[in-house]
Structure 1
Amino acid sequence: TGTYDPELNLLYWGTGNPHPVLAGRVRPGANLYTCSIVAINADTGKLIWYFQPSPHDTQDRDATETPILFDADFQGRPRKLLAQASRNGYFFLLDRATGENLLSTRFGPENWSAGLNKRGEPIPKPEKEPQPAGVLFEGTGTNWWAPSFDPDTGLFYVNAYHHFAVTYLTRNGEDEASASDHQGGADTPLWSQAMLLAIDYKTGAIRWRRDSPVGPGEAFVSVGAGILTTAGHLLFTGDNAGDLVALDPATGGSLWHVFAGGRLTGCPMTYELNGQQYLLTAVDSVLYAWVLPREAPFAAVPPSSHVSDLETPEFSEFFQLRRPQKRR
């Protein structure tokens, strides 16, 4: 998903992979402007600047993860910032007016990068590109799940994963699915770990994390949930067990959770109607609108009450807003 700065009149988008995705030998070089963050003039469509999180990508590390815009101090100077936790396992902080790289830092282990170039972009190791005999790949990353930034804590929150896999080059005819998607290869997932990270935007340091196993019957973290942080000092997201959770954004401590009967794969959102605040979540094909009892605001529940241990959620009522039936 892209975003827009009306002051600068710039659109910001992340771009997808070069093709064939895994077979990089047939497309030497950085493969501009794939796996990039681009700033585009909204009136003319002119490219103003670009930054490439994954030059010459050969492991499906697109840069389509949501960029977050915010204004804050960096090294003692007020800046217009753009932050992205990329699918390649790096956290990037850019000046969104100029595209200047301010910070590039890993948010988890990996074995494919040889460091950073002078623009702050990772340098891929040629020996970690997929091979016909297979290559052991370790990486950390995220996907399309929306992150969030809390100006009160100064933390950037993202659902991520750490994983191992063996990646191969294949002839297209050997794998019908890969051939139709122009991958040029395939991979065998070995192990993965889901994690929710709180990243200090000024340093890239992980201030807290919550680990969870992959979903039932999965060898790889294939789905995740977006994140919502609120002015009431709450963080809402879904975990890999399928629970909707409310956390303290400063510490990651649990305040409340509930299993709503399916997987949360979208991003929670909040709105006000008739003076009442609602929290909206998508669970499989059902939308749930959660509301607090007026006489006992959820934000006022003290952490010492261990709300997360209660089987019955503090939310007193909820509504299932089912999708309308198609007209015949």
Structure 2
Amino acid sequence: MMTFRNRLFAACAALALAACGTSGEGIDNDALRNAAADTANWITYGRDYSEQRFSPLDQINTENVGELGLAWYADMDTARGQEATPLVIDGKLYVSTAWSKVKAYDAKTGALLWEYDPEVPGETGVKACCDVVNRGLAAWGDKLYLGTLDGRLVALDRETGAEVWSKVTVDQSKSYTITGAPRVIDGRVLIGNGGAEYGVRGYVSAYDAEDGEMLWRFYTVPGAPDEAASEPAYLKAARETWNGEFWNLGGGGTVWDAMAYDPELDLLYIGVGNGSPWNQAYRSPGGGDNLYLSSIVALRPKTGEYVWHYQTTPGETWDFTATQHIMLADMEIGGTTRKVLMQAPKNGFFYVLDRATGELISANNYVPTNWASGIDMATGRPIENPEARYDKTGVPFVASPGAGGAHNWHPMAFHPGEGLVFIPVIEAGFPYVPEANWQPDPNRGFNVGIDMAAGGLPADDNVRRGAAAGTRGALIAWDPVTQTERWRVQYPGPWNGGVLATGGGIVFQGTAGGFFKAYGANDGRELWSFAAQTGVVAPSITYTVDGEQYIAVMAGWGGIWALAPGGVLNETSGPVPNISRLLVFKLGGTATLPPAPPLQRRPIDPPPFSGTQAQLTQGTYDYGRYCGQCHGDAAIGSTVLPDLRRSATLDNQETWMMIVHDGALASNGMAGFSQSLSRERIENVRQYVIYRANEDKRIGGIGLQGS
């Protein structure tokens, strides 16, 4: 049941909301600053500016959650990964889907009110490292704001879904994408972007919410030398930490997800991503911290002025982004109430910072780490294992965590009554194999500076099974004051969903295995489970309509783990399909899903391998660099995109060329690769896939995704 402390909080919140009068039609500063008090609605990505994803609602609680049932559901028209957090405003639910589409529903009945399609060109899909996903919307006044995969920021009329204005925020000739949710502060819409794996320079921008005029832009890494004289002081300082001609490779540092805001301090916090390429030996020969990669940066939201930064991984070379969820809280540490910022970035360490100054308060690893033994509290820097620096040694290193991170984009949640942060954890290593004489490809190539064919999961089925056995996921309850784990729920695989905590003493989370579950916030006991028929990676929200509490979550297996490593087994057996839906629950809900359709997959029945060893060698490399991020390591595909081992085009070289070289299926997201690969090399890729298919057919074709 809800504690007295949480009931008191909820009562005070309701009074604050009534006093502020923030439940009207327009979303303004008062509404956003007091969003934590607005239990009926969910008006910004993390529920409020602190991004705690905690709601004091307790109508659904530990005693009655077993009575939770499906209230309504809505099928999506995009069979790709679904990662969005819905917004709820005045009884209407708004959600973005894959391919940057938007839908509006009656939050009580599920009636579709309107839908919007920005018509993202299909060929944009190959620019997205990690599926054509979208994580959410922002609201201000009577408008909604959407970042599209092809780099536009779009304002929509909230009532009708009509487009009000649209601004291109990136150089669309480069491999920029937007998958993250915008935020709005005082009429300024904030948006970042992704694309560091393909050679771009990161930044975050602010646009006027009314007309889309760009107000400021904050670059996270320095630019070309001819920009040095006019750079602000923070970039001049950063330039001293770089070497070589880094600007020719983009530099990276994209701001593709995390943001938070403290209205009292008037500080915006952004999370900065990895370097481009990953391998620092190519990006910045001679080393250097490479500011502001893998950093948390505090800015003034009115001007974009730099205030402070904390770098989680200096000289990053492992794709250890700091773009993961940033959360703010006030908590007692050492007998003093501290205003803190918390983050569990990819590198495996949980950080607690003073959010006014950026001072490191504490840090500890929340998963086993072998790339660093700890954090030096005097300097705030990781105590690195020298062997982990494959960029310096030239020797392959299997790092834990790996490039997927110990925690990826999936949001955490904080329960103030329990004093716990709930983290969706990934336990997986990754082999970093430095590539000699690596060359960038500004077109379609995965520009990371390591051998992706050698660094991905191996083709050998027994080795893959061993890797799968050592790859797990968990939901852990982390005490940020003591920096210790309180409890955990272990999962057989990674890539489980984002988290919601409620005043009813419940933590909600979806799983990669196809379930949506409720756990006790104090002890992790499983209290309720719903078979969603697909992997649930998105975080859930809660809201009320007419005094009744609802829980809503997007379901739909996808994202980088579903695509690149070939997916995971679900909690019973077999591969997990994508069935994209919005699921909404309430106590006593009686709606039911239709029977799950059978997962129909072509058999692995390839033509005989007719290539040469030279073709196989080149095809292995090219597949790893150009194809594996969508079609799976070692050509062991997912259920989201075509498994090429099963493709009928393997029998027909002409058809293969029409698709892979000419781009015959570009409108579906399969752009042609003629800019990067000759017909001869594309044929080598076909021969590699044929070889792999024959190998898997010979051993039973099991891999990680079933036969």
Q: Measure, in 2, the Cα distance between the counterparts of 1:162 and 1:177.
A: 32
Q: Is the 8 A contact 1:2 1:13 kept in 2?
A: yes
2:453 pairs with 1:196: no
Shift in CA distance, 79/135, structure 1 to aligned 2, threshold 3 Å: same
* 1:137 maps to 2:425: no
Contact 1:22 1:129 in 2 (8 A): no
SS in structure 1 at match of 2:339: strand
What CA RMSD, in Å, does the superposition of the two structures yield over aligned residues? 2.4
- Partner of 1:169, secondary structure, is coil
Pair 1:153-2:412 in alignment: no
Please state if 1:286 is matched with 2:608: no
Q: Distance in 2 between matches of 1:46 and 1:23?
A: 28
Q: 1:277 to 1:172 in 2, by over 3 A?
A: farther
Query: Quick check: 2:497–2:536 contact (8 Å CA) kept in 1?
Result: yes
Residue aligning to 2:304: 45
When the two structures are superposed, what TM-score results if normalisation uses the length of structure 1?
Answer: 0.83
CA drift of 1:153 comes to 0.5
Query: What is the letter of the counterpart of residue 56 of structure 1?
Result: G
**d(CA) in 1 for partners of 2:513, 2:593:** 22
Query: Does 2:288 match 1:29?
Result: yes
Asked if structure 2 preserves the Cα contact closer than 8 Å seen for 1:172 and 1:179, the reply is: no
Residue aligning to 2:384: 124
Q: Does 1:211 align with 2:490?
A: yes
- Asked whether the equivalents of residues 272 and 295 of structure 2 are also in contact (C-alpha less than 8 Å), the reply is yes
Partner of 1:325: none
Question: 1:59 maps to what in 2?
Answer: 318
**Residues 92 and 39 from structure 1, CA distance in 2 versus in 1: closer, same or farther, beyond 3 angstroms?**
same
Residue 250 of structure 1 aligns to a residue whose secondary structure is coil
Distance in 1 (CA, whole Å) between partners of 2:267 and 2:273 is 19
Matches within 5 A, 1:171-186: 180-185=445-450, 186=452
Q: What's the secondary structure of 1:127's corresponding residue?
A: helix
Deviation string 1:155-210 (CA, Å, 9 cap, x unpaired) is 11101112233210125879989972310013234331111111101011000011
After superposition, the Cα gap between the structure-2 partners of 1:120 and 1:23, relative to the gap in structure 1 and judged at 3 Å, is closer
Q: Structure 2 CA distance, aligned partners of 1:242 and 1:39?
A: 38
1:113 and 1:80 map into 2 onto residues whose CA distance is: 28
TM-score, normalising length from structure 2? 0.39
Rounded to whole Å, the distance in 1 between the matches of 2:532 and 2:350 is 32
Q: Find out whether 1:243 has 2:518 as its counterpart.
A: no
1:212-231 mapped onto 2 (5 Å cutoff) = 212-214=491-493, 221=494, 223-231=495-503
Change (3 A) 1:67 1:111: same
CA distance in 2, matches of 1:113, 1:179: 33
The whole-number CA distance in structure 2 between the counterparts of 1:25 and 1:203 is 39
Contact 1:24 1:56 in 2 (8 A): no
Distance change (3 Å), C-alpha of 1:175 and 1:260: farther
Q: Residues 508 and 519 of structure 2 are in contact (CA less than 8 Å); yes or no, is this contact kept in structure 1?
A: yes
Residues 249 and 178 (structure 1), Cα distance of their counterparts in 2 relative to 1, 3 Å cut? farther
| Structure 2 CA distance for aligned equivalents of residues 70 and 31 of structure 1 | 29
State the alpha-carbon separation in 2 of the partners of residues 173 and 71 from structure 1: 47
Aligned residues with identical type, % of pairs: 32
Moved more, 124-133 or 41-50: 124-133
In terms of Rg, which structure is larger?
2
Residue type of the alignment partner of 2:519 = L
Equivalent AA in structure 2 for residue 10 of structure 1: L
Distance 1:172 1:157 in 2: 43
Contact 1:24–1:57 at 8 Å: present in 2 too?
no
CA distance in 1, matches of 2:374, 2:508: 34
- Determine which structure has greater relative contact order: mean sequence separation of CA pairs < 8 Å that are 6+ residues apart, divided by chain length: 2
> Residues 63 and 268 of structure 1: is their aligned pair in 2 closer, same or farther, counting only changes over 3 Å?
same
Structure 2 SS opposite 1:40:
strand
Deviation at 1:114, TM superposition (A): 4.5
Q: Deviations 1:119-139 (Å, cap 9, x if unpaired)?
A: 323133342123655222222
Matches within 5 A, 1:297-308: none
Q: CA deviation at 1:265?
A: 1.4
Which is worse superposed, 24-33 or 139-148? 24-33
1:257-272 correspondence to structure 2 within 5 Å:
257-272=529-544
Query: Structure 1: how far apart are the matches of 2:478 and 2:288?
Result: 31
Mapped pair 1:17 → 2:312: no
Q: Which amino acid aligns with 2:585?
A: W
**Cα deviation per residue 1:44-74 (whole Å; 9 max; x = unaligned)?**
2111111111111111110000111111111
Q: In 1, are the aligned partners of 2:344 and 2:407 still within 8 Å (CA)? A: yes
* Alpha-carbon spacing, 1:51–1:173, altered in 2? closer, same or farther (3 Å): closer
1:112 is matched with which residue?
A: 371
Q: Matched residue of 2:387: which SS?
A: helix
The CA deviation at 1:274 is 1.7
Q: Counterpart of 2:387 in structure 1: which amino acid?
A: E
Point out the structure with the larger strand share.
Answer: 1
Contact 1:114 1:123 in 2 (8 A): yes
CA distance in 2 between counterparts of 1:134 and 1:17 reads 19
Partner of 2:427 in structure 1? 162
Equivalent in the alignment of 1:8: 265
Asked whether the 8 Å contact 1:291–1:317 carries over to 2, the reply is no
Q: Which has the higher helix share?
A: 2
The 4+ residue runs of structure 1 with deviation greater than 6 A are: 172-179
Moved more, 159-168 or 53-62: 159-168
SS of the residue corresponding to residue 524 of structure 2 reads coil
The separation in 1 between residues aligned to 2:289 and 2:439, in whole angstroms, is 28
